[in-house]
Structure 1
């Protein structure tokens, strides 16, 4: 049993004999590892395991024998009850055909001519009907010498036996040959199984004129025998089950049928033309002379089997055999209980033994610890004096080190102040260079617009000149906004969000960088649906797009293909508009990408940027209630994405997408 070793090992998990541990890794330790486990010698574990296995096996076997013996006693009692029940139930029908055969009206009917018989039939049929009703049988028939039923208790019913020829039935043949017959079979008219008793009707000269047969149903007997946990069957002389508390076993054979037996059964129509098949069971061994163990198919669980204790004895009538099958599940349950009991006892004993061993070990360890404590106390007294002198020397050394550290800290603070001052000067220089870079582009645009305005005035085109001057005014406002970027970076201003045209903000940024786009041969593709509006602040939105477009131009400056694409999606189901700026530049380094929107983070050469542009852009976008993100595209270059809250459709008269523009 696999449980034995497992319990033995688990039970010894916390025990051991007290002993002085040798040095770690020494030969004595290795020897103890091989000879002991948890302080108990290996032979002790082996003896406990052998004892447990032997005791458990003996207990299981004893429980099985005792349970099966009790089951055999119950089976013997059941057989006596079933035999008495069978004798009582069928004995009262066995004499009925003999009594009916002695009636003068029945003998006269068999001796009469056909014309005379027609006049006698009503009285005989009524008599048979009364007899059948009084005794509670299935049917009572009068059969002539040729095997034809000439009178029956069910003469007036749809399935009447009158006119049926039963000369092939063994009970009729036996009645004519030996005076009486007994036979179990299925009715050819009704298809209902039953037991037939027959008796010959003799004339004045002693010749057999015919027979009287009584059919008895066994359904009530089967219902009375049906008991949970057991099965009862009656097997006829052919080895076929004719009475069974398990309906599926009925008319199955307890042994394989020979070809001749099958032919004889078919000739007598005993089972209404059925092919008798052997019951699929297996004999697992004999228990004693009167009982054996059999494995039968489980009728309630498909594909499963049930182990029965089978006992049998001859039936009181005929050549039948009564068998009772008792389920051995209770015996197996007793085995499991015995195994669990033995296992529990051994576990309790093992735990108690381990507790005792552990207690002895704890006492030994306590004594050992006390001895070690005494020795340690002796060493401590010696060590205290030595350590006191060392501490005195260390204290003096520490005082000197503290004084030196204070002087070093004073020098460090002075050096830090100088470094901070130098850093402030460097930041101011970078900020000045960045502001110069940011203001230089609008100034170039202003110069271009002023030159164009002068040309328009010379051509007497004041409208175009005034338009350029208005653009100059807006650029001046943008420059004023740029000078306040550092202040905006320091604090988050209150932003009033309104509906702003995204296309106009992009057009403003294109105007500022128009000259640069043309000079650097950059192809700018803009795909924004007319009327696309988002919630933002107009000037700050223009500043955001100007910053992003300027960064994109810087990124594609040295690229072989210089393409910048700006696009806006339709509002999604959540009312968000996605605005993207893609460039064909080299992309953003991964180590920079994670800190891209932090202050003073830049990929430009020293002196060409403060690293505040994207940080300010991020704060402005967040003030709109929008989100900005940056990523590298799979095909190369970088992509900046802003998700705005849509302000609602405001279509222009064109109502279409702007076509791409090449600059």
Structure 2
């Protein structure tokens, strides 16, 4: 019977663990799939925004030069030169000088005049070693299209200079007939430099499938698809790539994500010889066959997927540990009950045995019974005390969270009230533009309140932030705006001395939170002072080159010595009960630690308090990126 019972228990345990394993793998797979889809969708949406920006900048850059050939083609001196190719040298020199001036003003690579046979007869680089004069470009598509339809456009590598560029051409007409053409060659290097972003690549692919504009130099003039024999003959005839061999780009499509996005594996331009996966978002350009592509690294999506699996794993581990604990507890209780039953039987036997013993032994037995009852009562009280401690701990955590949220949400609400008052005033003054600007700021503050709950988590651990160059003056101006009504109503003199252009390494929203906290504390400190003065200053640090020293001083009563030593600890405050919980400076200190800065508090010799923060200057951030 016992063997069957053990077998039944073992079987139930096995199937229980098997079900838990199946549930775990299912939950982990679902969490990973959901997180991956969300991360890639976010990257695809960001890629679409990037394409909008790149397409707009490309159109803007090309529009600068597209009309230049037609303007030059209308010049009488150019038309006269084409009408009489054997014009006097002074006429040719005048046209060359004019083309040189146009080329210098527009910033193009070259501007030149082509006769009807395709020979360059005047050029902006007429006095340079690699002058275009005398070169025959009749084989170039832009020249043929200009004579046939009036305009031409072509991307290729110069046969004289070997430099890639985009050609615009316009026909020169005399009495309705084309007598030649004017062409302008421009460089796309500026676009490539403007598009270059870390962990991202942007490129333009022409109708041949060849990459002609790329932020990755090694990919330029490689093909995204095989080139047919017919297309190869057309390329050779036009000398589009100046005889350069067009090798295929070694990439592989991994998965189709949407109509405009797909996952692919490309050579990693940051680590030659290695490959990396990217999300490719593409869009056709108005030019025939051309397309614009943006490649974004998906390492962040993988990290989010791994975090989701780790979260599910942690939850299941906690559940498993709780199950083991509950099982062990049940076994302990069963053993205890069994021991108590055995003890009771032994006690009954003992009472029968010692019934005839002396009164002293009976008294001793009674004392032993009382001790047993007291021990059991003590154990029960201990268990009750443990439950009360656990419950009190839970209530303390809930209290901290509620207090932190109340403290941190109050400041954006004050700013919203101020901006609403200002907006109402602007509407009354018939100034809708300023009122709309205030409403936009209110919308941003409301959005920022959604992330305030993360501040308590930041208090517990050091957050990971991306430091960028932030204007210290703009952040102080933002904080001043939030307290504008209070500063005016309480007649506070606010002296701000921050040199223009003072930039520090920080995260904008977190730095704003720090300044708002410190300015709010300073206003609280001088509320009952005779002179209400707050000074905010910033200057290069004398002790630590490459850092900026920021100070905020008030004319209040200062900080009590017993509080000063514990100023940045949670729930330490000098405010009256009900006006503060002592979380503001603790949270401020944690935020600054995440930004690589450190805050110090002290009392001023002439009264009041001073808080000092040393930030890394933005020059150190640029030097770090340069390495």
Give the whole-Å Cα distance in 1 for the aligned partners of 2:239 and 2:85.
Answer: 31
Q: CA offsets, 1:170-218, max 9 Å, x none? A: 1111111111110000111111110000111111x22211111101100
Corresponding residue of 2:73: 101
**1:145 maps to 2:121:** no
**1:190 maps to 2:161:** yes
**1:85 maps to 2:57:** yes
**1:121 maps to 2:92:** yes
Corresponding residue of 1:35: 11
Q: CA deviation at 1:47?
A: 1.7
Corresponding residue of 1:207: 177
SS in 1 for 2:131: coil
Q: CA deviation at 1:319?
A: 3.6
Q: Give matches, 1:32-431, under 5 Å.
A: 34-36=10-12, 41-114=13-86, 116-203=87-174, 205-375=175-345
SS in 2 for 1:362: helix
SS in 1 for 2:191: helix
Give the whole-Å Cα distance in 2 for the aligned partners of 1:278 and 1:81.
Answer: 28
Give the whole-Å Cα distance in 2 for the aligned partners of 1:113 and 1:165.
Answer: 15
User: CA 1:117/1:336 → structure 2, altered by over 3 Å: closer, same or farther?
Assistant: farther
SS in 1 for 2:181: strand
Q: CA deviation at 1:357?
A: 2.2
TM-score (norm 2): 0.54
Give the whole-Å Cα distance in 2 for the aligned partners of 1:71 and 1:271.
Answer: 34
SS in 2 for 1:166: coil
Q: CA offsets, 1:341-395, max 9 Å, x none? A: 11111112222222222222211111212233445667889999xxxxxxxxxxx
Corresponding residue of 1:11: none
Q: CA offsets, 1:573-625, max 9 Å, x none? A: xxxxxxxxxxxxxxxxxxxxxxxxxxxxxxxxxxxxxxxxxxxxxxxxxxxxx
Q: CA deviation at 1:28?
A: 4.1
SS in 1 for 2:332: helix
User: CA 1:113/1:227 → structure 2, altered by over 3 Å: closer, same or farther?
Assistant: closer
Give the whole-Å Cα distance in 1 for the aligned partners of 2:272 and 2:64.
Answer: 40
Contact 1:182 1:318 in 2 (8 A): no
Give the whole-Å Cα distance in 2 for the aligned partners of 1:318 and 1:274.
Answer: 23
| Higher RCO (CA-CA < 8 Å; seq separation 6+) | 1
Deviates more, 1:355-364 or 1:187-196: 355-364
Give the whole-Å Cα distance in 1 for the aligned partners of 2:352 and 2:137.
Answer: 123
Give the whole-Å Cα distance in 1 for the aligned partners of 2:64 and 2:272.
Answer: 40
SS in 1 for 2:225: coil
Contact 1:285 1:292 in 2 (8 A): yes
Name the Cα RMSD after superposition: 2.2
Give the whole-Å Cα distance in 1 for the aligned partners of 2:164 and 2:286.
Answer: 20
Give the whole-Å Cα distance in 2 for the aligned partners of 1:132 and 1:383.
Answer: 123
The answer for unaligned runs of 5 or more in structure 1 is: 1-21, 385-663
SS in 1 for 2:257: strand
Give the whole-Å Cα distance in 1 for the aligned partners of 2:349 and 2:8.
Answer: 31
Q: CA deviation at 1:316?
A: 3.8
Q: Give matches, 1:547-626, under 5 Å.
A: none
Q: Give matches, 1:440-459, under 5 Å.
A: none
SS in 2 for 1:189: coil
User: CA 1:351/1:117 → structure 2, altered by over 3 Å: closer, same or farther?
Assistant: farther
Give the whole-Å Cα distance in 1 for the aligned partners of 2:18 and 2:342.
Answer: 36
Give the whole-Å Cα distance in 2 for the aligned partners of 1:32 and 1:321.
Answer: 67
Give the whole-Å Cα distance in 2 for the aligned partners of 1:117 and 1:176.
Answer: 26
Give the whole-Å Cα distance in 2 for the aligned partners of 1:154 and 1:372.
Answer: 111
Q: CA offsets, 1:304-338, max 9 Å, x none? A: 32222222212244441111122221111110111
Contact 1:125 1:151 in 2 (8 A): yes
Give the whole-Å Cα distance in 2 for the aligned partners of 1:132 and 1:82.
Answer: 25
Give the whole-Å Cα distance in 2 for the aligned partners of 1:248 and 1:376.
Answer: 90
Larger Rg over CA atoms: 1
Contact 1:257 1:277 in 2 (8 A): no
Corresponding residue of 2:372: none
User: CA 1:362/1:231 → structure 2, altered by over 3 Å: closer, same or farther?
Assistant: same
Give the whole-Å Cα distance in 2 for the aligned partners of 1:325 and 1:154.
Answer: 38
Q: CA offsets, 1:2-29, max 9 Å, x none? A: xxxxxxxxxxxxxxxxxxxx9xxx6247
Contact 1:86 1:316 in 2 (8 A): no
Give the whole-Å Cα distance in 2 for the aligned partners of 1:147 and 1:33.
Answer: 95
Q: CA offsets, 1:446-493, max 9 Å, x none? A: xxxxxxxxxxxxxxxxxxxxxxxxxxxxxxxxxxxxxxxxxxxxxxxx
Give the whole-Å Cα distance in 2 for the aligned partners of 1:139 and 1:117.
Answer: 23
* Number of equivalent positions: 355
Q: CA offsets, 1:484-522, max 9 Å, x none? A: xxxxxxxxxxxxxxxxxxxxxxxxxxxxxxxxxxxxxxx
